[in-house]
Amino acid sequence: MANDLGQHVFVTNVAGAGMSAVATLLAERGHRVAGHDPASTTPYIDMLRSLGVEVHTGPEHPPLPEDVDTVVVSTATPADAPEVLAAQQRGLPVLHRSAALAALCAARQTVSVAGTHGKSTTAAMLATILVGAGLDPGWVVGATVPGLGRSAAWGGEGPLVVEADESDGTFLALPTAVAVVTNVEPDHIEHYGDFTTLVGAFEQFLAGATVARLVGADDDLARDLGQAAGARTVGTAEGADLRMVDLRPEGPGTTFSLRHDGGPVEVHVPVPGEHNARNAAVALAAAETLGVALTEGAKALGDFRGVGRRFESRGTAFGATLVDDYAHLPTEVAAAIAAAGELGGRRVVCVFQPHRYSRTATLWRDFADAFVGADLVGITDVYSAGEPPRPGVSGKLVLEAVLEAHPWRNIAYLPDLDDVVTWLRHTLRPGDVCLTLGAGDLTTVPTRLAAASEARR
């Protein structure tokens, strides 16, 4: 047990992706866990309650139990939250999620998977490989993982695979045996102040690994940081220590050969997109550092069933295939659209929801070429994620960037979700691929579309 946390732990924002994972590990380690979340429905509430976590939801905060030893908070928890004030009045420790997760990681050999994008999928792939190889791992992934049953588990005596979040510096707090960096791009500048400081944090993260380091060879910055830190490189780039060659779409996924010192290994990734093939190669390399032969890892990878909101199939509507993806950065958007093109649909119809005013203000120009692979594009207004609006910052900035670079692009501005649903109902044709992209509430649109399509029958 992470003894410094005490026996009874209260977790704020407990039903979110990151905090639910901490609560899960605490519960499975034998702690009594309770918590509150303002959201009344998330994918994690049932999982938590099945583990005995006392979950309170809604706007009203429950009183902090008298016998609580520690309160664990997220970056989103305000300093004047009732639980925080009550804990301070009693002299109880109030720990950030990163400190609680670090205490849990200290009990295991931890593999920390970091990167601007791809870390959820890579961590889930690695956990799937380790389960298939019989290593009895634990895992912490910031999304639902259908093939593993849930997003987090303490597991047995094997390694603990953790999606290491850079957004608030959490990845620097984790005691890491094997460090993985998929890529490094400008994001979360509101936390770091500038890109140079963010890059320095990734450099520090790699330096802290005690056993091995792995980086994506196809990202220039990640490769440079990795080479300086003595990391193995993985990807399609010439000179990669483990090089991917002969990438080709096959069925709903991608096949490639992974060349290494022992000869080529044929790998099939059961989800589409070259970006997912790169994630798989990095996961296989990380598993190899833990004793799983590449051939054995490639076989176990066949059980991977994707990750929630990472190119997730959401059924059909009006004859179109619905796919939902968490992509909210320019390179992620381009990769998701490219993967949609591999599905062989009549057209790729894409709706994108910019995420956070701060991110949109910083990156809107970088979306200019992100939608090149889509036939029709809709842009919504910004999903705030709790940030206050900024004058002059809206989804129209992304629209302007696209039209400035591609004046004849077929693109529409759809400020709210009702506009999105109406537009798609009149736009979609049988055989289309309908792609909803963003980290906000655009994820509700596929369900609304499917219901509208069913009602029309």
Write down which residue in 96, 121, 150 finishes a domain: 96
Distance, in Å, from the CA atom of 332 to the CA atom of 338, rounded to the nearest integer, reads 10
pLDDT at 281 > cutoff 90:
yes
CATH code where residue 31 lies: 3.40.50.720
**Which of 97, 354, 331, 71 lies closest to 221 in space, CA to CA?**
331
* Closest C-alpha among 36, 20, 25 to residue 2: 25
pLDDT of residue 261: 83
Same domain, 161 and 292: yes
pLDDT in tens, 188-212: 888 899 999 999 999 999 999 999 9
- Which residue segment(s) compose the domain that 366 sits in? 312-456
Q: Is residue 248 assigned to a domain?
A: yes
Note the pLDDT tens digit of each residue in 395-435.
999 999 999 999 999 999 999 999 999 999 999 999 999 99
Q: Which of 54, 74, 96 is the last residue of a domain?
A: 96
Let me know if residue 118 belongs to a domain. Answer: yes
Tens of pLDDT, residues 341-383: 988 878 999 999 999 999 999 999 999 999 999 999 999 999 9
Indicate whether 101 belongs to any domain.
no
| pLDDT above 80: residue 456 | no
Average pLDDT for 432-447: 95
pLDDT grade for 2, boundaries at 50, 70 and 90: low
Clarify whether residues 193 and 295 are in a common domain.
Answer: yes
Task: Work out the average pLDDT over 31-48.
Answer: 92
pLDDT of residue 188: 87
Total domains in the fold of the chain: 3
Whether residue 206 lies inside any domain: the answer is yes
Q: Are residues 282 and 336 in the same domain?
A: no
Please check whether residue 255 lies inside any domain of the structure: yes
User: Is residue 164 pLDDT above 50, yes or no?
Assistant: yes
Q: Is 319 in the same domain as 299?
A: no
Would the pLDDT of 1 be above 50?
A: no
User: Domain containing 361 — which CATH number?
Assistant: 3.90.190.20
Question: 311 near 339, Cβ under 8 Å?
Answer: yes
pLDDT at 256 over 70: yes
335 to 30, 149, 292, 331, 366: CA distances (angstroms): 41, 26, 29, 6, 14
Per-residue model confidence as pLDDT tens digits over 380-400: 999 998 889 999 999 999 999
**Rounded Cα–Cα distance for residues 9 and 29 (Å):** 12
- CATH code assigned at 145: 3.40.1190.10
Confidence of residue 300 (pLDDT cuts 50, 70, 90): very high
Residues 326 and 288 in one domain: no
Q: Are residues 137 and 277 in the same domain?
A: yes
Residue 102 lies in a domain: no
55 and 189 housed in the same domain: no
Residue 258's φ and ψ, nearest 5 degrees, are -110, 110
Indicate the pTM of the whole model.
0.87
> Would you say residue 3 has pLDDT above 70?
no
Same domain, 62 and 38: yes
Domain identity same for 350 and 412: yes
Of the candidates 161, 423, 146, the one whose C-alpha atom is nearest the C-alpha of residue 292 is 161
Residue 261 and residue 270: Cα distance in Å, rounded?
25
Residue 7 shares a structural domain with residue 28: yes
Q: Are 197 and 346 contained in the same domain? A: no
* CA–CA gap between residue 433 and residue 448 (Å, rounded): 16
**103 falls within a domain:** no
Boundary-marking domain end, from 271, 303, 335: 303
- In this structure, the answer to whether residues 222 and 197 fall within a common structural domain is yes
pLDDT tens per residue, range 129-144: 999 999 999 999 988 8
